[in-house]
C-alpha cells in the first residue's frame, strides 16, 4: 500500500467515464450549479450519475457524489456498493467521503485535486485504515484512488465557466495544483479479501479485551471488574 505517481493504471473505461463525467459537469452550469459531477459504475456500466443540486435545492449537502451514491443504492437495491467505482470531476470532500467508506465503494477516480478541502488530499477520510479496523461493520476498507484523470479538461470547464472565480480558486490553492498534470496520483488501498462478520468481531473483542486485562477469555462477573473506564476507551480490535 502506498502513494505513487504513475501513468499506467488507468483503464479505457476510466477515461470514457471521466470524459462523460466532465461533460456532465459542463452541463451543470445550465442549471446554475458549479461544475461538479459524479458517476457510479459497476462491471455492467453506469449505475447512476448526478450533478450538484446545491443551488437548485438551496442545500449545501446536495453534492453530486452523495446524490450518485444514493441513487446507486436505490437502483441496485442494496446499501453495499462493493465492486463499484465512483467517478468525480473534483476530489470528493470529507462529507462525501464518509458515505463512500460506508458504501464500501472499491475505487474512486477523480480529475481535479482538492488540497484544501479534499477527503483524500487534506482530511484523509478515504485512506484511513483505523475506521475499518475498529468498525468494520460500518466502514469498508479504503478504496483504490486515482486522481488527476483528464485533469486539464476538467479544469478547462471550470475556467470557461467563470475565469475570475477559477483564478481565485487557483490563487487560494483550493482546487488543482497537480505537481505534473500529465501524471496521475495512484493510491492503492489494502485490498483485503475479508468481509466482516459478527462472529469474527466478537472473537476479536473477547481476545483483545482479555489481553488488555490480563485475564482468561471466560465471561467475567461484573463485581470482578478491575479495569478503569480509561482502559475500556483504549480498546482496539486487531486488524487481520
User: What whole-number distance in Å separates Cα of residue 119 and Cα of residue 98?
Assistant: 9
Q: Which residue has the cell 471550470?
A: 158
Give the interface segment with Zn ion, choosing from 38-46, 96-104, 157-165, 225-233 (CB under 5 A).
Answer: 96-104
Residue 59, CA atoms < 13 Å, CB-side half-sphere: 10
Angle between helix 151-161 and helix 12-27 axes, rounded to 10 deg: 0
Nearer Cβ to Zn ion (54/204): 54
Question: Is 40 a residue that touches Zn ion (CB under 5 A)?
Answer: no
Residues 101-130 contacting Zn ion, CB under 5 A: none
What is the nearest approach in angstroms of Zn ion to the Cβ of residue 59? 12
> Is position 65 annotated as part of the catalytic site?
yes
Closest CA to 239 of 212, 186, 200, 213: 200
Nearer Cβ to Zn ion (51/96): 96
Question: Is 28 a residue that touches Zn ion (CB under 5 A)?
Answer: no
Question: Is 96 a residue that touches Zn ion (CB under 5 A)?
Answer: yes
User: What whole-number distance in Å separates Cα of residue 94 and Cα of residue 47?
Assistant: 23
Single residue of 63, 153, 186, 204 touching Zn ion by CB under 5 A? 63
User: What whole-number distance in Å separates Cα of residue 191 and Cα of residue 4?
Assistant: 16
Residues 129-148 contacting Zn ion, CB under 5 A: none
Give the interface segment with Zn ion, choosing from 73-81, 91-99, 137-145, 149-157 (CB under 5 A).
Answer: 91-99
Count of CB atoms situated within 10 Å of the CB of 152? 14
User: What whole-number distance in Å separates Cα of residue 178 and Cα of residue 184?
Assistant: 9
Question: Is 54 a residue that touches Zn ion (CB under 5 A)?
Answer: no
| Cα torsion 240, 8, 107, 128: sign | positive
Closest CA to 238 of 195, 198, 203: 203
Question: Is 53 a residue that touches Zn ion (CB under 5 A)?
Answer: no
Nearer Cβ to Zn ion (18/125): 125
Give the interface segment with Zn ion, choosing from 18-26, 90-98, 122-130, 170-178 (CB under 5 A).
Answer: 90-98
Nearer Cβ to Zn ion (65/141): 65
Question: Is 41 a residue that touches Zn ion (CB under 5 A)?
Answer: no
Of the residues 33, 49, 65, 155, only one is catalytic, namely: 65
Closest CA to 214 of 197, 202, 226, 196: 226
Single residue of 93, 100, 154, 157 touching Zn ion by CB under 5 A? 93
Give the residue numbers marked as catalytic.
65
**Positions in the binding site for Zn ion (CB under 5 A):** 63, 93, 95-96
Amino acid at each position: 500500500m502506498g502513494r505513487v505517481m504513475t501513468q499506467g493504471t488507468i483503464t479505457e473505461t476510466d477515461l470514457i467515464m471521466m470524459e462523460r463525467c466532465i461533460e456532465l459537469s459542463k452541463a451543470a452550469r445550465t442549471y446554475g450549479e458549479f461544475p461538479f459531477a459524479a458517476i457510479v459504475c459497476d462491471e455492467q456500466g453506469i449505475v447512476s450519475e448526478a450533478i450538484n443540486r446545491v443551488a437548485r435545492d438551496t442545500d449545501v449537502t446536495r453534492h453530486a457524489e452523495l446524490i450518485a451514491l444514493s441513487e446507486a443504492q436505490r437502483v441496485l437495491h442494496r446499501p453495499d456498493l462493493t465492486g463499484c467505482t465512483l467517478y468525480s470531476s473534483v476530489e470528493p470532500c470529507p462529507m462525501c467521503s464518509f458515505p463512500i467508506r460506508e458504501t464500501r465503494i472499491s475505487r474512486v477516480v477523480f480529475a481535479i485535486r482538492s488540497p484544501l478541502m479534499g477527503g483524500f488530499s487534506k482530511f484523509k477520510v478515504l485512506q484511513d485504515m483505523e475506521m475499518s479496523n475498529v468498525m468494520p461493520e460500518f466502514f469498508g476498507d479504503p478504496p483504490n484512488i486515482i486522481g488527476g484523470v483528464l485533469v486539464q479538461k476538467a479544469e478547462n470547464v471550470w475556467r470557461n465557466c467563470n475565469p475570475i472565480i477559477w483564478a481565485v480558486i487557483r490563487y487560494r490553492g483550493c482546487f488543482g495544483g497537480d505537481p505534473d498534470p500529465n501524471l496521475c496520483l495512484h493510491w492503492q488501498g489494502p485490498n483485503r479479501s475479508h468481509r466482516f462478520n459478527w462472529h469474527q468481531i466478537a472473537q476479536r473483542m473477547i481476545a483483545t479485551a482479555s489481553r488488555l486485562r490480563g485475564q482468561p477469555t471466560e465471561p467475567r462477573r461484573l463485581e470482578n471488574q478491575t479495569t478503569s473506564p480509561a482502559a475500556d476507551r483504549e480498546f482496539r480490535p486487531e486488524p487481520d
